[in-house]
Amino acid sequence: MANKVFELITEEAKRQSEGLEMIPSENYVSENVLKALGSILTNKYSEGFPGRRYYGGNEVIDKIENYAADLAKKLFKVPVVLVQSYSGSPANFALTMAVCKPGETVMGLSLSSGGHLTHGANLSFSSIFYNAVNYNVGTDWKIDFDELERLAKKHKPKLIWAGTTAYPFKLDYKRYADIADRVGATLVADISHVAGLIVGGVHSSPVDYVDIITTTTHKTLRGPRGAMIMVTEKGLKKDAEIKSKIEKAIIPGLQGGPHNNQTASIAVALEEASSDKFKQYAAQVVKNAQILAAELGSVSETHLILLPLVSYGYGMGYQAQYALEVAGITVNKNTIPAEPVSPFYPSGIRLGTPALTSRGMKEKEMIQIAKWIKQALEEIRGYDIPAEKEKRLEFLKEYKEKIHSNNNLLSIQKEIKEFTKRYPVPGI
């Protein structure tokens, strides 16, 4: 019975190796990151912070956590780093608790414009416990700073989020800062998607402009599924007590003991991100995304591409995701600005290049992959989502049955399996 889990892990390793992982928030970690994550450090309970634990026997754990924080301070050029948050959403919750009282106003990019759930989306803690105000992108799909400024002056938010999850352009942190300073808001940059690009030197850093930074560690940074909260010099000048406020929000506010194996694994990833080899990796991620976007008739300034599918039909995101998966390409369905259908049946897909680049793929490979994507998308024509909501589930059931045996998609799948043999997955 115990072997069942390891059989499934082997099955997943096969899936990852034989397909193309193109969800931009996913990546492959190194063997050393996996070793730390699966280490005996998981045995130790370490509630509290270095030098201030509630349990004994944490001398070594303190050294590991301090080392991880020190690496991040050096890489991101910040004076304060906290590494205990279990993941990105809990980190953003803790940060919001530290800055805002329940009911105070937070502002973030709307979900349909490429924002994150934790920045003020409906049904998230950020709108349940706080007064959430969303700003949007314009017709050019870029952030509408004029609207942002109008809303900030009107609502006087306590916190403004500068961060995205499905936005292919670089952010203008100076414009954010000008607006936040004008209305007295705390400005927080959520760099979860671009953290690796920042330390790799191919994306601008928000450090000189924002008060606080949050980030996951498992996207372009190539670490485990964890998070960090960082305070800048500007943030400390605004509130000298902000570190202790964030610590209290983490524990006892939201969680108990940290995952020490995760902390050590973050430290390993930060060591790797300090190398010249990682800088080369980050630069290649962006090059690959730009080539892939151009081949698909889109644009990217980062690692991410948001591809609209309105030319293929009505509400085609789900159909595209499934068809590409049959072909051996993993992406995620995603809303587009001014989404014409719904978040459940959106009109676009989100894809990116971090994981492909970790396998050693470059510009030539992106051109080939774009060809496969375009070939696969041709198979979804005529499968528009029904306008009548009650007909959608039955439609998708029939669609999946048909597309699962589509010969053109299965032919692409076979080609991709052969193609991926030349690009081993790190850690497998």
Question: Catalytic amino acids?
Answer: 45, 47, 190, 216, 219, 225
Which H helix or E strand runs over 294?
helix 276-295
As a whole number of angstroms, the distance between CA 229 and CA 244 comes to: 12
Residue 191 phi, psi (nearest 5): -105, 25
Return the residue matching tokens 């009505």: 314
Give the Cβ contact number of residue 161 at 10 Å: 30
Give the Cβ contact number of residue 407 at 10 Å: 8
The closest of 357, 419, 85, 70 to 219, measured between CA atoms, is: 357
Give the Cβ contact number of residue 209 at 10 Å: 22
Q: Dihedral of the CA atoms 162, 165, 171, 173 (nearest 10)?
A: 20
Taking the CA atoms of 98, 227, 83 and 274 in sequence, report the sign of the dihedral they define: negative
DSSP assigned state of 253 = I
Give residues with Cβ within 8 angstroms of 48, minimum separation 6: 54, 55, 58, 251
As a whole number of angstroms, the distance between CA 111 and CA 136 comes to: 9
As a whole number of angstroms, the distance between CA 107 and CA 126 comes to: 9
The closest of 35, 177, 163, 38 to 89, measured between CA atoms, is: 163
As a whole number of angstroms, the distance between CA 198 and CA 188 comes to: 16
As a whole number of angstroms, the distance between CA 7 and CA 240 comes to: 52
